[in-house]
Structure 1
Amino acid sequence: MYLTHTFELPPHLKKALKKATFLEKVTVVYLISVIVVMFLVMGSSQAMKTAWLEDLLSIVPSIAFLVSTRIYNRPANKKFPYGYHRVFSIAFLTGSLALFGMGMFLIVDSSISLISGERPTIGSTMIFGKQIWLGWFMIIALLYSAIPAMILGHKKQKPAKDLHNKILHTDATTQKADYMTAGTAILGIIGVGYGLWWFDAIMAILISISVIKDGYNNLTNAITDLMDRVPYKIGSQIVDPLLEEIEKTIAYWSWVEGFEIRFREHGQVYFGEIKVLTSEDNVEELITEGIKELKQLHWKIHDITIMQVKSLHP
């Protein structure tokens, strides 16, 4: 016998998911336009190339989130008895691995350009009879790649925390900090304009280091989540206070003489097992009521098993 019900978010979170989905669709369209614009004005600047590749890669989390939202609430079945909640964890891992891998590629590519002494050139073009430095177009493109992204990232942060969705939170945090990438690339372009050819590669390396740092941190979190690490509060290294609340609730149960809890993350929700010592006769009824009470604490508590044991330390 397998669970066949479909996971349902609380009504207020359905609105948050709808908002997040809309924002991610807008992000995909926006990033496609950024990728095209950046490619057209990129020239031979290493910093522009690095920023463009980062923008190209930044579309992955948005697509991963949109795909995951079509899968996560499918009913559990014989093949997947725990449901499809971990699709968000897989999406988080995929995006993190892509980010880290691209960062490693970029830092090697930028370092080679610096060591080999490649000198980027930014020419000029005639517009309405006036000579315009192409660097201005690059700077405008970089501002276009940063300012709307910062706004989108800011708007995604609240639904990401409300939904406890790490792929959405990572996307929001990265986009909110896009001004750093754009600012660094702009400095590289200005450096080339003043004849400091090496400045462009240095800025590209700095961007690469930032990409590697974000990729590494996200990759570490994604792997430890898949290894069933204790649930952490999203966006921090603090164990979710909800676990302490669960322990306090169980401690108030008069029929429980001792207990141990163990919880893990499955995407947005928590699965847990609780061992209890009890001498009560109607233990089955008490366990059923206990599960019901714990699930009412928070929507993230999705699947709980409470078992009676003779000893907590076998």
Structure 2
Amino acid sequence: MSARFGHTELPEEQERALRRAVRLSWLTIAFLITAVTGVYLAMGSSQAMKAAWMEDMLSFIPPIAFLVAVHRTKRRPSPQHPYGYHRAVGVGHLVAATALCAMGSFMVWDSASGLVKAEHPPVGLMELGGQAFWSGWLMIAVLAYTAVPPVLLGRAKMPLAEKLHDRVLFADADMNKADWMTAVGGILGILGIGLGLWWADAAAALFISGSILHDGVRNLRVAVGALMDARAETYDGQDPHPLVPAIDDRLGDLSWVADVRSRVRDQGHVFHVESFVVPVEGHNPTMEDLRLAREAAIDLDWKIDDMVVIPVEDLPHQMLPGLEKEAGGGGHDAA
């Protein structure tokens, strides 16, 4: 049976991407279990190690949120949820972003307090196999172990996030790709302690905490915007989605359409589209005209899942903000 998001059957390429993304998410969780265990056992009283451990703990949230969201979005629409369960992606993104913001803020305050109080973290000796050595080397080894796998996982997830238009997966991949900075910052902090620079540990912890807070604020902005029915944007939340003008262009090419304007909102993996079309003078669109128009737009991309085509005498300015600014432009400009 083909994979689906609600009643939307995924094309073969997206189906393969979904299966691979699920496998990578489980692999990420398995790696994080080993990482948080190793960092916890080695961290001692180091602020940088504590911050790295907290970031690894927070890193569980995006892959878990992705797996839960994928499970929920497979459910078909119901009387209680007539639009389906696609918003589970947005909810998962919001939960992950809120956790990052909250913990990032706390860790920035905690790290800054240690720096202001001039706390000197002790990193002593430990014995292994009858040999005594500086425990900082163990910390560095553990941090080095946590540096490379997340980067590889993040690079593998990023193209899948684009294919699936999944912002939770993108947030996870983006955090993974930046995890090497956490490890390097922690290593520099430990080396600083070894060189007698007491402030290096707290400074490294502050850097890691700031990175977590930055990720949280950026993802929170995108997540809240999507849940507030902001215009449909690309999976990374950086640009308007190119499908929006493409829908208007496709409908505008129909012989009986004089003017068209669509508003498109991101439901999660798929889009909800409302297209207002002004027929050419003297033409009354038939049911067949409307059906063919809808099918022509849906054929553009699998993400155009829920679409209505509404014939109107004039474009409704009150429902299409910004239309006044484009009144002097072409007939079917981008939304």
TM-score for the superposition, normalised by structure 1: 0.96
Tell whether 2:120 aligns with 1:156. Answer: no
C-alpha distance in 1 between matches for 2:155 and 2:315: 46
Match of 1:174 in 2: 175
C-alpha distance in 2 between matches for 1:65 and 1:84: 13
* Residue type at the aligned position of 2:286: V
Deviations 1:96-132 (A, max 9, x none): 1111111100001111111222210111112233221
Structure 1 gap ranges (5+): none
Compute the displacement of 1:206 (Å). Answer: 1.1
Match of 1:306 in 2: 309
Compute the displacement of 1:235 (Å). Answer: 2.1
* Residue type at the aligned position of 1:304: M
C-alpha distance in 2 between matches for 1:266 and 1:162: 16
Match of 1:48 in 2: 49
Tell whether 2:293 aligns with 1:290. Answer: yes
* Residue type at the aligned position of 1:309: V
Match of 1:96 in 2: 97
* Residue type at the aligned position of 2:288: E
* Residue type at the aligned position of 1:204: A
Q: Is the 8 A contact 1:269 1:300 kept in 2?
A: yes
Map 1:59-70 to 2 at 5 A.
59-70=60-71
C-alpha distance in 1 between matches for 2:119 and 2:97: 31
Name the stretch that deviates more: 135-144 or 125-134: 125-134
Q: Is the 8 A contact 2:222 2:237 kept in 1?
A: no
Deviations 1:261-303 (A, max 9, x none): 1000000111010111124234321111111111110011111
Map 1:1-314 to 2 at 5 A.
6-278=7-279, 279-313=282-316
Name the stretch that deviates more: 262-271 or 110-119: 110-119
Compute the displacement of 1:233 (Å). Answer: 1.5
Compute the displacement of 1:60 (Å). Answer: 0.4
C-alpha distance in 2 between matches for 1:18 and 1:103: 32
Q: Is the 8 A contact 1:8 1:73 kept in 2?
A: no
Name the stretch that deviates more: 161-170 or 230-239: 230-239
C-alpha distance in 1 between matches for 2:31 and 2:71: 21
C-alpha distance in 2 between matches for 1:232 and 1:281: 34
Name the stretch that deviates more: 238-247 or 30-39: 238-247
Match of 2:321 in 1: none
Secondary structure in 1 aligned to 2:71? coil
Compute the displacement of 1:193 (Å). Answer: 0.9
Deviations 1:204-242 (A, max 9, x none): 111111111111010000000111111111225211111
C-alpha distance in 1 between matches for 2:178 and 2:118: 30
TM-score for the superposition, normalised by structure 2: 0.90
Compute the displacement of 1:6 (Å). Answer: 2.8
Identity %: 39
C-alpha distance in 2 between matches for 1:261 and 1:152: 37
C-alpha distance in 1 between matches for 2:116 and 2:183: 24
Superposition misfits of 4+ residues, deviation over 6 angstroms = none
Q: Is the 8 A contact 2:274 2:309 kept in 1?
A: yes
Secondary structure in 2 aligned to 1:177? helix
C-alpha distance in 2 between matches for 1:236 and 1:111: 31
C-alpha distance in 2 between matches for 1:194 and 1:287: 74
Name the stretch that deviates more: 48-57 or 227-236: 227-236
Compute the displacement of 1:77 (Å). Answer: 0.9
C-alpha distance in 1 between matches for 2:193 and 2:285: 79
Deviations 1:27-48 (A, max 9, x none): 1111011111110001000011
User: How many residue pairs end up in the alignment?
Assistant: 310
| RMSD of aligned residue pairs (Cα, Å) | 1.2
Compute the displacement of 1:154 (Å). Answer: 1.1
